[in-house]
Amino acid sequence: MLILLWGLPEDSPLAAVYSELMSLGVPTVLLNQRDILDTEIEMSVGETVQGVIRTRQHTIDLSTVTAAYIRPYDSRRLPQIEQAGVNSLAWQHAIAFDDTFLCWTEITPALVINRPSAMAPNGSKPYQLAQIRQLGFPVPETLVTTDPDAVQAFWQEHGNIIYKSISGVRSKVSRLNPEHLERLANVAWCPTQFQQYIPGQDYRVHVVGTEVFASEIISQADDYRYATQDNESTDILAYELPQEIEEKCRVLAKAINLPLCGIDLRRTLDSKWYCFEVNPSPGFTYYEYATNQPISRAIANLLAFGIDRAITENNGSKSPLITVSNT
């Protein structure tokens, strides 16, 4: 058994999981992304996937890796790579390593949290919303447009709307107000997502394998993550979801092949539960520190002990969701 972590050691979720794995005494290697210029990878694909990673400290036989937790940043943005420039050997090395390692995470039989193909829908919020709706959660009425007149009509129809990015790049959620009118024409240059505003209470739900950790968000800000920018505050409390909603979160995570995810929900005054999006690489420590919920321990346990042949329904046929367990 070997657990492989990949990313920046100071990244809070990665550091928390690494600490838990160390406390469990599980053989673990944290592959520091900053050392990419001193890291080499070889991979061959035949009847089995073989490969090796070499760093100054480690030689890792990839066939011995039973699980991996990956939170990579764009290696091209690392200072030594960015300073070397796009035509440099350093730049080419970084791209080659990232591509090869991500290929491995996609095809290895090891448990990977999370595979790139499963995370890909996060790059298109409208596509992800369609997935969520098909799996049983209501979603807000949504408009993606470059037409200012269409925005005005959508606004008039719903009375109160929000706007945010359509991609996986983090953006602040804001309610549209009359002050935005003078720059509304800018949507012609960038497709923007507008949504019906749903009044109610926010919840962040982390699904780890079959475990569910729910947090209730107490904030008057449109986007509680940026509450201080709006002179508001945010309190986060551990919360016990209704059993039906908890199970729907479990089903959603399983169906979209994410052993770990953060699901954003809102409960309306008449107890209707909307789902806004699913984060495939959640910064769960923000919630763990506030609620003392053992999320990082649950992730470490999942990496170390796996789920025995979890099966998901996908397009009408059964396929293995997680194919390796070291138990």
CA 114 distance to own-chain centroid: 8
Helix count (H) and strand count (E) of the chain?
A: 9, 18
Instruction: Report d(CA 178, CA 1) in Å as an integer.
Output: 58
- 154 band by pLDDT with thresholds 50, 70 and 90: very high
For 246, the token pair is: 């908890």
Burial, 4: exposed, middle or buried (Cβ in 10 Å; 0-12, 13-18, 19+)? buried
Average pLDDT over residues 240-263: 96
Which pairing describes strands 201-208 and 211-219: parallel, antiparallel, or unpaired? Answer: antiparallel
Mean pLDDT of the chain: 90
For residue 175, the number of C-alpha atoms closer than 13 Å in the C-beta half-sphere is 13
Q: What predicted TM-score, i.e. pTM, was given to this entire model?
A: 0.88
Q: How far are the Cα atoms of 5, 130, 163, 276 from residue 232, in angstroms, in the given order?
A: 36, 32, 19, 22
Dump pLDDT digits (tens) for 157-185: 999 999 988 877 777 888 898 888 888 99
Burial, 231: exposed, middle or buried (Cβ in 10 Å; 0-12, 13-18, 19+)? exposed
Per-residue confidence (pLDDT) for residue 314, from 0 to 100: 33
* Residue 35 predicted with pLDDT over 90: yes
